[in-house]
Amino acid sequence: MKERWKLNYLGFILVFSCTNMCLAQSVFGKWRTIDDQTGMEKGIVEVYQENGHLQAKIIKILEKGREDAVCIKCKGELKDKPVKGMQIMRNFKSNDKGEYKGSYLLDPENGSVYRGKLWLDSDDKSKLKVRGYLAFFYRTQTWHRVKED
C-alpha cells in the first residue's frame, strides 16, 4: 500500500511538473515590454489566442505620465485612440519552428505597421523575442514574462 501511494504521489508530481513546464513555455500570457533602444519598461502586453491565431493587445502602460497616451501618429481608425487596450498584433500564425509570424505588428510610438515574428528565447523561456520587419531591415525587442500572483 505504501509503495502504491509513493507511485501515485510521484506520478502526480511528474504530471504537475510537466503541466507547469508546458504552460511556462508558451508564448501566451502577459509580457513586460522593454524598449530595445532605451532599456525602459514601456507596458504590459497580453498575448492570447483567438480564432486559432495569435493576437496581442496593450493592457497597461508603465511609463510615468503616459498612462493615458493616445496614438497620435497612427493612421485611420486608430488615430488619436487610447494606446491602452490597443491591439498591436493580429492573426499571427504558428510555424513548425516554434515561431509565430504575421503581417500586422503595430508600433504605437510611430504609428507604423510591420511584418513580424515572435518566439521564446531558447535559453530563457521567460523571455519573448519580438521582431518587426521593414523590407530587409528588422528590429528585435526582448519582452519579459509577467509573473502572475
Which residue do the cell numbers 510591420 mark?
Answer: 114
List domains and CATH numbers for the chain. Answer: 28-145 (2.40.128.520)
Residue type, 14: L
pTM to 2 decimal places = 0.81
In this prediction, residue 21 has a pLDDT band, given cuts at 50, 70 and 90, of very low
Contacts 24+ apart (CB under 8 A), 132-139: 132/105, 132/107, 139/36
- Tell me the average pLDDT across 37-45: 94
DSSP letters spanning 37-73: TT--EEEEEEEEEETTEEEEEEEEE-STT-TT-B-TT
Q: DSSP class of residue 4?
A: H
pLDDT in tens, 93-143: 999 999 999 999 999 999 999 999 999 999 999 999 999 999 999 999 999
Mean pLDDT of 28-42: 93
Spatial neighbors of 73 by CB under 8 A, at least 6 apart, are 108, 109, 110, 111, 112
Distance separating alpha carbons of residues 15 and 89, to the nearest angstrom: 33
Dihedral, CA atoms, 55, 56, 59, 61, nearest 10 degrees?
Answer: -160
Burial 106-126, CB ≥16 within 10 A → b, else e: bbbeeeebbebbbbbeeeeee
